[in-house]
């Protein structure tokens, strides 16, 4: 038997620099394992032969076990304890720079998250997810919510347990305060069930540091302004012609076109790959090894372009991560919402805009020369066709104007579920009422309603808001970029996308997780907290013009 | 600090079955890590973007570190000690079957190999290999052996150190006896340098259990019979026409043809992939996830077909590994030589033979319909063209008749080097003399001589013989298959390759590492030890007919 030679006591005599270096060595090992996991996941979706599924699951499980051991190793804990002790007793800023201090903060948070849940609970969550996903697939196929409901009940219960452990462990101190305040105002004791503030903790794991009350304020504002705008367009009952992009577009030529667009925007094909998968995603192992995927459908030209530009946005963030602090926590993406802001900025602010097509429409026409009806189309016509608004039931098929409504209704329902304001059985009714109110549609089937998304079956409550946070970040960041970069849109109209890419590299990508929240990043960059007004103005101006409201 | 709770003493009260199950759990974890390594290596050669090289090296190094920890874990050692104790004190065969007993034997051997070298030596070997490969690339480019010689000196020295540790650790007991006997006959003490028997230890790590004196006997016999045969063909100074396979063959259609051949032979594309890489290889993660590669050159049709069939042979072995004992040592390939026997059996016994082309030549003609000169070619003509013999300098470009000569000369030189019978400086002279004697050629450049192969720069001394052992195994196994399967070659001529594949699955692939050497496998299968006479007869008959000797 060997016993690790170093204990916390031994660290007392070491310099902060030496402790930090030991921490980084450990964290780099963890980053390598995460990178390996990224390649295996990519391979699974893109390359793996189908009979290998069971073997791959076993390999991933062994890797996860080793990663967990390394994440919870006593040496790591002792190092972090000692560094924490130093932070409380001396000023570390002469010894460590802000990036290094952020690494300690992030490592502590990761360690805490990894160690504070009982192993039994972690296993139960994994087991429930496996069963619940299968049940969800089945329930959705039969469009029968009642078949999924018991699993959603269990998810709510188990997530509440998880939150309780996290609160007790000191994660999201503000959520604990919200809970205490609620108990006090309701006259409840510590033993009484009360789940107020619980959603904040779930949100925090996807969007670190973002406050639920801030989110609620943003979403209220969006509802107030966008619901009437969507209604106006619906009532206008008019659509721009898009017949010239509805035909069949050869897949090979779609592939060539989107690959060239992706490179033009700035994707470095020597530091990443673009392949095909059923569901487009961006993954990989390292800023020098980014793996993104897209998909093509012969009669849906717009989908292939949109998916590729979207994933390219994610990939630029990944490729642009801070190289000086590579393989350490501070170099990682700040949050899901900020990651989504980078994909949406390129997809919506850039690709769904006129300067982009001023440059690329001639290329598209050339690539699809046999599509005669396309050849005479102007940039304005194309822009109108690509930006058609149409309320629908399915979130991921939605346009940028109706999309936030899909998110807001999910947020309202999942928060009310977790915090005990509604019951699982009532979900379909709430869903229908909100779809009617926000989008003017009648939900006729659970399949098209509350059963459409996988998230709730796999414990991902608190995830949905990050999609719309991403759009709000994107507008605020892009608006600021336009102020800072002279003639930005003239550059884009000349295909000089590197101007924007490099600005984002410096102001977003290389910043990584230096700050504690996406809101802090936006505040330091633009001088304002995240604010829905720019987003509302962007959508209102754009669609008022497109639909002549 | 946590201390593993279980020690060897605690195992004393457990049943053999329980100990075995714990061992298997540990070994399966190791197999998963090996599988992950296989996917990462494949990805590196086939998919990885070029800037990712450094990141991948770091990931592989972290994975190797964790694998080493797991391979040398005290718990594993204690489990093996206890099982070893049980084996010496009781009869385990009622509790464990032969596959299970083999797993214990192999796990012990692996543990021993992994633990008996000092960490310092392992690091020094890795460091030397890195430097030596770079030096070899440089020396080969300049065709200047003296630039590589110091690194080869170091390789010889460090490999002797490795062997000494292994001998002391009880690996290859027979090699230690050879050494003792040599010392005695030379009147040397234990302190005097004497390297007799050292080659046996190196050979053992590539071809477990195979005896160097057996190898030497086989190679002497080959030299005796093949050198005159090669000379006769050279003196005949005649070549069959192969102009019709020398032109440009469209790469896309080569790809389609070889993929269809590979599937026809029995490669399961749902349990593996066939891709392209600079150097063809077979790797992957599991019998359900085999990754093989090939390559195509527009004016070298034969190369693409040969490489694909060769790798398909390796892949059938991998896909055919015992599923009941999957992820445990007994299911792995027995040795490099036996692995090579499976690729060579399909490449030479099958593909370089008439029954194969009886079925596939019509398919080839159809696939390349625009090659008019090919259309009138008969199977006999094609067979003669595909089997041209031509002495050359380069091992991997050689035909099946001259290939063994390249191996034998390397074997003789590397063995003499390790055992101290020649000096590094004399290698080029020995090389030239042997090439002259065996192949009738004058080596004019080191580049075409002793600098052509990477093996010696990366510690792979003892590896070369496995190539020719593979051919000898292949002939003996195929000859036996013909005796056992009625009308085997009639089946092949009808494209019914599954008959042979299934026989190999059962008699070779599923046998895995149940036996202690390739010779044991061949003996149990054919009733004879590995014997060069069948191989000599095969080559003599075949090439006497082709060249009308």
CATH topology of domain B207-238+387-549: 1.10.1370
Q: Which residues of A438-466 are buried (b: 16+ CB within 10 A; e: fewer)?
A: bbebebeebbbbbbbbeebbbbbbbbbbb
Quote the pLDDT of residue B10.
80
Do the Cβ atoms of B200 and B172 come closer than 8 Å? yes
Cβ of A59 within 8 Å of Cβ of B36? The answer is yes
Quote the pLDDT of residue B3.
40
Q: For A310-352, how does the pLDDT look when each residue is reduced to its tens digit (9 = 90+)?
A: 999 999 999 999 999 999 999 999 999 999 999 999 999 999 9
Picking from A2, A8, A58 by the largest number of B CB atoms within 10 A of its own CB, the best residue to mutate is A58
Task: From chain A, pick out residues whose CB is under 8 angstroms from the CB of B277.
Answer: none
**Residues A476-491: what's their mean pLDDT?**
97
Task: From chain B, pick out residues whose CB is under 8 angstroms from the CB of A56.
Answer: 285, 289
**Residues A80-90: what's their mean pLDDT?**
93
Instruction: For residue B55, give the nearest of A59, A273, A286 by CB distance.
Output: A286
Instruction: Tell which residue, B195, B189, B190, has the closest CA to residue B175.
Output: B195
Cβ of B51 within 8 Å of Cβ of A268? The answer is yes
Give how far B67 is from chain A: nearest CA, Å: 10
Task: From chain A, pick out residues whose CB is under 8 angstroms from the CB of B66.
Answer: 33, 66
Quote the pLDDT of residue A353.
98
Residue B292: which H helix or E strand, with range? Answer: strand B289-294
Print pLDDT tens along chain B (549 aa). 334 445 556 888 899 999 999 999 999 999 999 999 999 999 999 999 999 999 999 999 999 999 999 999 999 999 999 999 998 898 888 889 999 999 999 999 999 999 999 989 999 999 999 999 999 999 999 999 999 999 999 999 999 999 999 999 988 999 999 999 999 999 999 889 999 999 999 999 999 999 999 999 999 999 999 999 999 999 999 999 999 999 999 999 999 999 999 999 999 999 999 999 999 999 999 999 999 999 999 999 999 999 999 999 999 999 999 999 999 999 999 999 999 999 999 999 999 999 999 999 999 999 999 999 999 999 999 999 999 999 999 999 999 999 999 999 999 999 999 999 999 999 999 999 999 999 999 999 999 999 999 999 999 999 999 999 999 999 999 999 999 999 999 999 999 999 999 999 999 999 999 999 999 999 999 999 999 999 999 999 999 999 999
DSSP B449-514: TTTS-SGGGGT-TT-THHHHHHHHHHHHHHHHHHHHSTTHHHHHHTT-THHHHHHHIIIIITTTTS
Quote the pLDDT of residue A2.
39
Measured CA to CA in angstroms, residue B260 lies from B183, B311, B364, B498 at distances of 58, 14, 11, 14
The answer for A270, left when phi > 0, alpha when psi is -120 to 50, beta otherwise, is alpha
Q: For A438-457, how does the pLDDT look when each residue is reduced to its tens digit (9 = 90+)?
A: 999 999 999 999 999 999 99
State the Cα angle at A49 between A43 and A51, rounded to 5°: 125
- The values of phi and psi at residue A535, to 5°, are -65, -45
Taking the Cβ of residue B196 and every Cβ of chain A, the question of whether any pair is shorter than 8 Å is answered with no
Chain-wide mean pLDDT for chain A? 96
Q: Pull the structure tokens for residue B133.
A: 């490969």
Instruction: Tell which residue, A468, A395, A389, has the closest CA to residue A434.
Output: A395
The interface pTM score, or ipTM, of the predicted complex is 0.94
Q: Which residues of B are catalytic?
A: 311
Q: For A209-246, how does the pLDDT look when each residue is reduced to its tens digit (9 = 90+)?
A: 999 999 999 999 999 999 999 999 999 999 999 999 99
pLDDT higher than threshold 90 for residue A190: no
Taking the Cβ of residue B252 and every Cβ of chain A, the question of whether any pair is shorter than 8 Å is answered with no
> What is the residue whose two structure tokens read 């003599």?
B540
Instruction: For residue B270, give the nearest of A49, A269, A272 by CB distance.
Output: A49
CB pairs under 8 A between A and B: 122
Taking the Cβ of residue A119 and every Cβ of chain B, the question of whether any pair is shorter than 8 Å is answered with no
Q: For A105-159, how does the pLDDT look when each residue is reduced to its tens digit (9 = 90+)?
A: 999 999 999 999 998 999 999 999 999 999 999 999 999 999 999 999 999 999 9
Do the Cβ atoms of B342 and B316 come closer than 8 Å? yes
Q: For A399-428, how does the pLDDT look when each residue is reduced to its tens digit (9 = 90+)?
A: 999 999 999 999 999 999 999 999 999 999
Taking the Cβ of residue B57 and every Cβ of chain A, the question of whether any pair is shorter than 8 Å is answered with no
Instruction: For residue B49, give the nearest of A29, A33, A273 by CB distance.
Output: A273
State the Cα angle at A182 between A118 and A180, rounded to 5°: 50
- Provide the 3-class DSSP secondary structure of residue B291: strand
Picking from A9, A34, A51, A321 by the largest number of B CB atoms within 10 A of its own CB, the best residue to mutate is A51
Q: Which residues of A222-261 are buried (b: 16+ CB within 10 A; e: fewer)?
A: bbebbbebbeebeeeeeebebebbeeebeeebbbebbeeb
| Residues B68, B78: Cα–Cα separation, whole Å | 16
| Residues B450, B406: Cα–Cα separation, whole Å | 11
Give how far B369 is from chain A: nearest CA, Å: 26
């Amino acid at each position: 038997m060997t016993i690790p030679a170093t204990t916390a006591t031994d660290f007392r005599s070491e310099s902060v620099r030496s402790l930090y270096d030991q921490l980084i060595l450990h964290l780099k090992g963890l980053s390598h394992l995460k990178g390996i996991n990224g390649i295996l996941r990519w391979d699974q979706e893109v390359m793996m032969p189908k009979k290998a599924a069971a073997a791959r699951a076993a390999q991933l499980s062994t890797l996860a076990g080793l990663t967990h051991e390394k994440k919870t190793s006593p040496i790591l804990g002792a190092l972090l304890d000692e560094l924490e002790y130093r932070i409380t007793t001396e000023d570390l800023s002469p010894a460590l720079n802000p990036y290094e201090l952020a690494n300690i903060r992030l490592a502590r948070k990761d360690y805490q998250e990894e160690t504070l849940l009982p192993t039994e609970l972690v296993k139960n969550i994994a087991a429930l997810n496996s069963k619940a996903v299968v049940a969800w697939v089945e329930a959705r196929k039969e469009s029968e919510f009642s078949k999924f409901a018991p699993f959603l009940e269990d998810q709510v219960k188990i997530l509440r347990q998880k939150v309780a452990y996290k609160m007790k462990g000191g994660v999201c101190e503000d959520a604990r305060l919200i809970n205490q305040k609620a108990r006090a105002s309701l006259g409840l004791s510590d033993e009484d069930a009360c789940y107020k503030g619980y959603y904040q903790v779930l949100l925090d794991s996807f969007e670190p540091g973002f406050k639920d009350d801030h989110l609620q304020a943003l979403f209220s504002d969006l509802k107030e302004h966008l619901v009437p705008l969507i209604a106006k367009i619906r009532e206008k009952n008019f659509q721009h012609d898009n017949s010239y992009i509805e035909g069949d577009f050869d897949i090979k030529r779609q592939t060539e076109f989107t690959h060239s667009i992706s490179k033009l925007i700035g994707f470095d094909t020597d530091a990443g790959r673009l392949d095909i998968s059923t569901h487009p995603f961006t993954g990989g192992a390292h800023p020098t090894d980014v793996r993104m995927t897209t998909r093509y459908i012969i009669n849906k030209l717009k989908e292939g372009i949109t998916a590729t530009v979207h994933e390219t946005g994610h990939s630029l963030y990944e490729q642009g991560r801070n190289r000086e602090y590579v393989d350490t926590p501070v170099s990682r993406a700040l949050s899901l919402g900020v990651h989504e802001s980078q994909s949406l900025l390129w997809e919506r602010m850039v690709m769904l805009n006129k300067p982009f097509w001023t440059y690329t429409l001639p290329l598209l026409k050339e690539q699809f020369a046999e599509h005669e009806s396309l050849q005479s189309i102007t940039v304005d016509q194309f822009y109108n066709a690509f930006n058609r608004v149409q309320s629908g039931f399915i979130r991921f098929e939605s346009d940028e104007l109706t999309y936030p409504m899909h998110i807001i209704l999910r947020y309202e329902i999942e928060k009310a579920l977790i915090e005990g304001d509604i019951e699982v059985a009532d979900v379909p009714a709430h869903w229908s009422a909100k779809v009617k109110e926000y989008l003017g549609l009648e939900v006729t089937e659970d399949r098209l309603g509350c059963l459409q998304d996988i998230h709730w079956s796999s414990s991902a409550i608190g995830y949905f808001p990050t999609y719309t946070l991403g759009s709000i970040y994107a507008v605020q960041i892009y608006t600021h970029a336009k102020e800072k970069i002279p003639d930005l849109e003239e550059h884009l109209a000349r295909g000089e996308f590197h101007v924007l890419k490099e600005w984002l590299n410096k102001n977003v990508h290389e910043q990584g997780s230096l700050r504690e929240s996406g809101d802090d990043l936006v505040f330091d960059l633009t001088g304002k907290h995240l604010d829905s007004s720019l987003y509302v103005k962007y959508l209102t101006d754009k669609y008022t013009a497109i639909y002549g409201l």
